[in-house]
Amino acid sequence: MLLSLAWFALGTLLVLPFYLLLWSRRARLTRKLPGPTPLPFLGSALELGRGPVEMMTNTVRLWRQYGSNIYKMWLGPELFVFVSNPNHLEAFMGCHINLKKSVLYKFLFPWLGEGLLTSSGKKWKRHRKIITPAFHFKILEQFVETFCHNSEILLRKLEAHGNGPAFNIYDYITLYALDVICETTFGVSVHAQENHQSQYVAAVKGMARVIMERTQYPWLFFDVTFRWSELRRKQEQYLKILHSTTNEVIQARKHYRLLNPDSSFSVDDTGVKHKVAFLDALLTAQNDGEKLTDEEIREEVDTFMFEGHDTISSAITFCLRLLGLHPNVQDRVYNELVGVFGNSKRKSTYRDLQDMKYLECVIKESLRLFPSVPFYGRRLEQDMKIDELVIPSGTNVGFMAYCMHRNPDIYPHPEKFDPDRFLPEKVQGRHPYAFLAFSAGPRNCIGQKFAMLQMKATISDILRRFKVITPSNVVIELSWEVVIRAPKGVFVKIEERS
């Protein structure tokens, strides 16, 4: 009898917080919203399934099941409201008050600290103001040479597959993107394409896996449970490599600048000259005479590394796959490139990239179908009224880019690859929040011009050298990780152009 009472008391203590949560202000104000029924402790986490592939599939299923505008979902003790209506998105994302990122972004803090991606409030506004000049077109223009230098290495690596069977091109693009972002951010190369077994390359990939695994399992949301997991021990190993590498580069760069105050470039151990990197802009950046500290610089450098590596890899790879599936579109891009370069084999210039108008439409349409970041999130610091509904403070709001880009009311025949959707006359009149490849509003991607230049430079170099063919019988599987991925790879064939 006493044992039964003890079990009853324990069960009551465990379940009671769940029912109290369901009667909380957040629950009461959002009761009318559709969404799956939550379970104690887990909420509706089981609806997402296990692993990133099931998460991707089930996220789309839930979006279709509960309406394409707005629905709710409990993940453990956290309430999420998912929106994919452009008007709702504008209300949330265009707001200058609720700029704090959702609870899921806290998993990035151990690596990125409070960089532009994860910070909020006065610190975010201050850093955004300081860093924005680093993306001036005069600085971006000098990076075109870096894109071309590293794409030459990429093309040499791809030569081994010329006129051969299908191969996974994603790994090649990833290492190329890592070389570019290190060189443009640090001012030095990690030679990832030549030495893909390096500790730093492995640590970047490992840390991304840790972050994603934490988002999949509600019991790892809490630091107290994560602290005792094997995943945390792996995280510590990766962070030691990542942070020590960044700190060493920062100190070396500061020392070099001290000895060479008038130099506009640095020379690495191979004798290659590098122009001023983002790190240089951070070291000299000031706001009302106030400079960034070494820790703040490390946070922003790590943020550039994180945001400018996987996102670019995903975007370029999926664009190449789509071009391989649609030879008529690829021919049209190639003809544009012939118009820009003629028969010349010269490297691209900044002006050349500006002239690739149709290629830009192709890239945007590819990002519509496969946005590198399929989901963005905020945590409300104040109540917000949407239509007749009040979304209470403390709620996590998810912006469903992947799903919204497939809304037939916005994009007719949404599964069709049609770059003409982004011709100027077609874009005119479309809701400004109907395309979220680079987020939107005050917290939009600060590096979107840099990203577009790199994607144009890379894809144009590949298409000038090779014809890309995607086997039509290969079904692609998507996973929802830090960025959208194809876990089984993206397989294409390439043929040398005469």
So what's the pLDDT on residue 31?
A: 85
So what's the pLDDT on residue 308?
A: 84
Q: What angle do CA 143, 148, 150 make, to 5 degrees?
A: 95
Rounded Cα gap, residues 120 and 115, in angstroms: 9
So what's the pLDDT on residue 220?
A: 81
Beta strands of 174-237 (E only): which ranges?
Answer: none
Annotated binding residues: 445
pTM, 2 dp:
0.89
Annotated binding residues for heme: 445
Phi, psi of 264 (to 5 degrees): -100, 5
Task: Specify the pairing of strand 375-379 against strand 396-400.
Answer: antiparallel
Reading the chain (498 residues) residue by residue, the pLDDT tens digits are 544 444 444 444 444 454 455 547 778 878 888 999 888 777 888 888 877 888 889 999 999 998 768 999 988 788 999 999 999 999 999 888 877 888 878 888 999 998 888 888 888 888 888 888 878 777 888 899 999 999 999 999 999 999 999 999 999 999 999 899 888 888 777 788 887 677 887 888 888 888 878 877 767 877 888 888 899 999 999 999 999 988 888 888 888 778 777 655 544 444 444 456 788 888 887 655 678 888 998 999 888 888 888 899 999 999 999 999 999 999 999 999 999 999 899 999 999 999 999 999 999 999 999 999 999 999 998 998 888 888 999 899 999 999 999 999 999 999 999 999 999 999 998 999 999 999 999 889 989 999 999 999 999 999 999 999 999 888 889 988 778 989 899 999 999 997
Question: Given phi > 0 = left and psi -120 to 50 = alpha, else beta, which region is 290?
Answer: beta
DSSP codes joined into one string, 27-82 = HHHTTTS--PPPBTTTBTGGGG-SHHHHHHHHHHHHHHHS-SSEEEEEETTEEEEE
So what's the pLDDT on residue 9?
A: 47
User: Which contiguous run of DSSP H or E holds residue 108?
Assistant: none
| All domains of the chain in start order, with CATH | 18-496 (1.10.630.10)
Coil, strand or helix: which one is 413?
Answer: coil
